[in-house]
Amino acid sequence: MRAGARGDIVVSEFLDSIGGYRFKERRDRLLDILDINLDWHMDGERRRVQLCMGLMCNWDILLLDEVTVDLDVLTRFSLPKFLKQAANEHKATIVYTTHIFEGIDDFPNHIAHMRDSTFVTNPTSWPIPNSNSKSLHAIALEWIGNDRKTRDREEKEGKRKKVRGARFQITPTDSETFYRKYDYGRQTNHYT
């Protein structure tokens, strides 16, 4: 949310203005991984530059939430490798939440499943010992499927309000009332 990141500034000038020269080696690795053109303007590639900016310096704990969601597949493949290497080099911790699991089977060393701010599965070593060595994607599908079944059951039991999907509605919405009242096409069959 820095003012410079919202304006139309050349990427190289922006990164220099926030001290990119102090972390030259990491900055340059990130520029390559994120495929950033230093001549770009911030208004076009803000997400990649923000990632570069945030990951340039050393960190002890890094909290990441859906950081790769709008990146191309090559960058989504390369960035976790960089993060894992950086974490190992600096004995740092990364907490990474995502729903994109392709290409990250070798990224985590622990995984956990949370539902409604509560652990369903405590942090567990990855890959899971004595398991069928499922992929992270397969485990996520199983967990998310169970979450949906739990949510659906709780909605039917009245323990949770239904907020997703189709809903039975007794009272028509204002727009539905309006269009029923003034839908001349239904009366004259002009729009069949």
What pLDDT, in 10s, does the model give residues 44-89? Answer: 578 889 999 999 998 999 999 988 888 888 998 899 999 999 999 9
Task: Work out how many domains the chain is built from and give that number.
Answer: 1
Q: What is the DSSP letter of 41?
A: B
Is 90 a member of any domain? no
Domain that holds residue 29: 1-57
Is 190 a member of any domain? no
State how far the Cα of 72 lies from the Cα of 48, in Å rounded to an integer: 11
Is 48 a member of any domain? yes
Q: Which residue has the tokens 């028509």?
A: 172
Q: Are 135 and 105 in contact (CB under 8 A)?
A: yes
Is 15 a member of any domain? yes
Q: Beta strand pairing status for 61-65 and 93-97? A: parallel
Q: What is the DSSP letter of 172?
A: P
What pLDDT, in 10s, does the model give residues 24-49? Answer: 999 999 999 999 999 988 765 788 89
Q: Which residue has the tokens 């907020």?
A: 163
Is 88 a member of any domain? no
Amino acid (1-letter code) at residue 93 = T
Is 53 a member of any domain? yes
